[in-house]
Amino acid sequence: MTWNGEELDFDAYLARLGHTGETKPDLDTLRALHRAHVAAIPFENLEMMLGRPVPLDLAALQDKMVRRRRGGYCYEQNLLFAAALERIGFHVTGLGARVRAGASITRAVTHMLLKIEADGEEWHCDVGFGADGLLEPIRLRDGEEARQGEWRYRIDREGDKGPLVLRTWRSDGWFDLYAYSLEPRLPVDYVVMNHYTSTHPRSSFIRQPVLQKAAPEARRRLVGDQLSVTHPDGSVVQRSVPVGELAGILARQFGIELDADDSAELIRVHYTGA
């Protein structure tokens, strides 16, 4: 199997998601698991902040996100999701994207997403983009638009042969999240991307803690010591997180509970006033 679905502790994964329904290779299952994964497993880069590598083998992914109930970033999350879908019987294709998200330059292909076949159609799936990310699959075709909770998304192709672009609606119009092609990517491709993203001095993920959570009613982010909650009407509530509140914020807002040693190290290295 391409995504090592046979190695997945499937029952433990479903328990982590809180999913108790059927698991068949159909659209209903795909939607249910996508929503449950996004709700249960937050986006986070704390291993990098703690000076640790980010392994992508399935055993490590299960240990971190399922057994230890931590989160992960795009490769970790989508590789785990791909293994689960493959185990069920879905046809899974990995894709790569250039993140835009307000960037003024063209970025390298460093984001992972998935193309899944279900009910005779192709679906764009991505459980690892963070606060602005999809809550559930969106049909993979030019001009497709979908409302998910209080959020709107659409896919547009740029020009006749340009990339597809995933966009989300904001109060000032459509906002580009990332651009991608349908060139298939293999697990080894993500190993290379992951090495750059988790170690290169210019990677934004090695500079400060980044935690994000997508939900139907709000988008939550903790970047450095700044916590922000964005609502569908465009309003944003933002505040600084004092060192003494960090552990509580991680637990309440993102469902992450670090042990005492990791919590102390994160504060020592990355938060002023420690």
What are 95-149's pLDDT values in tens digits? Answer: 999 999 888 889 999 999 999 999 999 999 999 999 999 999 999 999 999 999 9
| Whole-number pLDDT of residue 272 | 55
Residue 273 pLDDT greater than 70, yes or no = no
Residue 17 pLDDT greater than 50, yes or no = yes
Residue 190 pLDDT greater than 50, yes or no = yes
Residue 274 pLDDT greater than 70, yes or no = no
Catalytic residues: 74, 111, 126
Mean pLDDT, residues 225-230 taken together: 95
Spell out the residues 6+ positions from residue 137 whose beta carbon is closer than 8 angstroms to its own: 27, 30, 31, 34, 116, 118, 123, 124, 125
pTM comes to: 0.96
Which is it for strands 210-214 and 173-180: parallel, antiparallel or unpaired? Answer: unpaired
Tell me the C-alpha distance between 225 and 272, whole Å. Answer: 9
pLDDT interval class at 210 (50, 70, 90): very high
Q: Decide: 117 and 104 in contact? Cβ < 8 Å.
A: no
Q: Scanning the structure block, which residue is given the tokens 């999350």?
A: 77
Q: Decide: 153 and 167 in contact? Cβ < 8 Å.
A: yes
Which candidate, 148, 153, 112, 194, places its Cα nearest to that of 34?
Answer: 148
Mean pLDDT, residues 3-26 taken together: 96
User: For the segment 254-265, what is each residue's pLDDT rounded down to a tens digit?
Assistant: 999 999 999 999
Rounded to a whole number of angstroms, the distance between the first and last alpha carbons of the chain is 47
Mean pLDDT taken over the chain:
94
Mean pLDDT, residues 82-96 taken together: 98
Tell me the C-alpha distance between 251 and 42, whole Å. Answer: 11
